[in-house]
Amino acid sequence: MNDHPSGRLNDHRRLGRELAIFDTDPLVGSGLPYWLPAGAAIRKTIEDYVHELERRNGYQHVNSPVLGKRELYERSGHWAHYAEDMFPPMRVGGEEFVLRPSLCPHHALIYRSRSRSHRDLPLRVAELGGMYRSELSGVLGGLTRVRAIQLNDGHVFCAPEDAAAEASAALDLIEAAHAQLGIEAARYRLSLRGDGAKFVDDPAMWARSEAILRDVLRERGREYDEERGEGAFYGPKIDVQITDPAGRESTLSTVQVDLYQPERFDLGYAGGRRPVMVHRSVVGGLERLVAHLIEVHGGAFPAWLAPVQAVVLPLSDAELPAGRDVLRRCVAAGLRAELAAPDRGSLGARIRAHRLVPYQLVVGPREAVSGAFSVRLRGGEQAGEVPVEELARISRPVY
């Protein structure tokens, strides 16, 4: 396991609290962490990045409710195959409502809310939305196993002959996002049907879906492992596996080919044809993603992702007005910045207190006169005077 710059081990549960990223409270409940300001900043930055990445790749964004009637999940197959992982129904006005275990039934309804022709396909919809899993208390921990998940989800409704291309394009997005976030995939896994009632009993349907995903992996030249019993209840999936600094493996991003729910919801398009539903999650659940990023980066996040990107450090009280002006210009340029005033200690003490901030902007007597600042990188390197606009430019993600 790697060491944090403070000498502490990179357990996200420890670092997340030390860095005020998230916390929990017994009155909220186990597996229900809340985001503190630093964590909310990281989460919003990831949301904005993925939203723009998806938009540039032809996705339309939607929003849907976090619960639905029990009949919705009976129709989707979740009630028959996934009920043990769902929260129990709530009775309201003689009807039963359930906190959703996934977003795909809602997106299927969004597809069928309009008549579709072949010219409408592929229809790519995406949402960052809440879903809920009735996890047992014994398996909950930090951000990695939670009961309320903010999922980066998306579904592509396409002609059957386009399913492989759309699944491959989803992997392109996953690999681009992982590179931007500094994530290395441990392996690719083709997760297949297992035995038992958990999985839809339609061998021919499974064989068709598996063939599509095998073709995608083969065309991309990807080595992969096959594991039975790890597929979704309705179809196989490509799982992008990651490992934390302790060597523990988990699934982050997925691509799935679903022939089951389009039939269950009677989805179609002109000519009586039925679309294929490609499920994909570019970065998975934000909770698990942020847990991984905390441990991978040890809290020293890339500049574009850091909760505070720049700290302004006036040398003394005489430079404090100039420091406030630098802070104002940084915020106006879009930087997440804060001021560490001289009353918080010596310059060295303030630098150490902000050791994880990518850019430390020192304002001395000369800079106060010129309206500039001297940039010190968190590794200790001196970058000299850098215009605010340039600092903001290099602190944005690359698409």
The 10s digit of each residue's pLDDT in 140-191 is 889 999 999 999 999 999 999 999 999 999 999 999 999 999 998 889 999 9
Q: Using the 8-state DSSP alphabet, how is residue 305 labeled?
A: T
How high is the pLDDT of residue 196? 84
CA distances in angstroms from 186 to 299, 300, 321, listed in the order given = 21, 22, 50
How much is the pLDDT for 4?
39
How many CA atoms, within 13 angstroms, populate the side-chain half-sphere of residue 315? 11
**Residue 285 phi, psi (nearest 5):** -75, 135
In the structure encoding, which two tokens stand for residue 275, read together? 């679309």
Q: What is the pLDDT of residue 387?
A: 93
For domain 12-297, the CATH superfamily is Bira Bifunctional Protein; Domain 2 (3.30.930.10)
Q: How far is CA 86 from CA 22, 73, 95, 159, in A?
A: 25, 10, 17, 31
Q: Where do runs of H (alpha helix) occur along 57-159?
A: 70-76, 78-81, 104-112
Neighbours of 78 (CB within 10 A): 24
Contact 153, 173 (CB under 8 A): no
Nearest CA-CA partner of 62 in 150, 132, 154, 140: 154
Helices (H) and strands (E) in the chain, counts: 13, 18
Domain 310-393 indexed as CATH 1.10.150.20: no
Rounded Cα distance, 386 and 79, in Å: 58
CA proximity to 125, closest of 32, 222, 58, 192: 58
Determine if the pTM surpasses 0.85: yes
Query: How are beta strands 276-281 and 148-158 bridged, if at all?
Result: antiparallel
The C-alpha angle with vertex 143 and arms to 137 and 144, in degrees rounded to 5, equals: 75
Taking phi over 0 as left and psi of -120 to 50 as alpha, with beta for the rest, 94 belongs to left
Please report which residue ranges of 298-387 form alpha helices under DSSP H.
320-332, 347-353, 365-370
Res 9: pLDDT: 64
User: Of all residues in the chain, what percent are helix, strand and coil, respectively (each to 5)?
Assistant: 35, 25, 35
Q: How much is the pLDDT for 7?
A: 39
DSSP state of 145: B
d(CA 169, CA 174): 9
User: Do residues 4 and 13 touch, judged by C-beta distance below 8 A?
Assistant: no
- Determine phi and psi for 380, rounding to 5 degrees: 100, -10
Which contacts (CB < 8 Å, 24+ apart) does range 271-275 have? 271/118, 273/118, 273/159, 273/160, 274/160, 275/111, 275/116, 275/121, 275/157, 275/158, 275/159, 275/160
For the chain, which ranges sit under pLDDT 50?
Answer: 1-8
Give dist(CA 87, CA 93) in Å, integer.
19
What is the C-alpha separation between 41 and 37, in angstroms, rounded? 6
pLDDT (0 to 100) of residue 135: 87
Q: Where are the domains of the chain?
A: 12-297, 310-393
> Contact 359/308 with Cβ under 8 angstroms?
no
CB atoms within 10 A of CB 74: 15
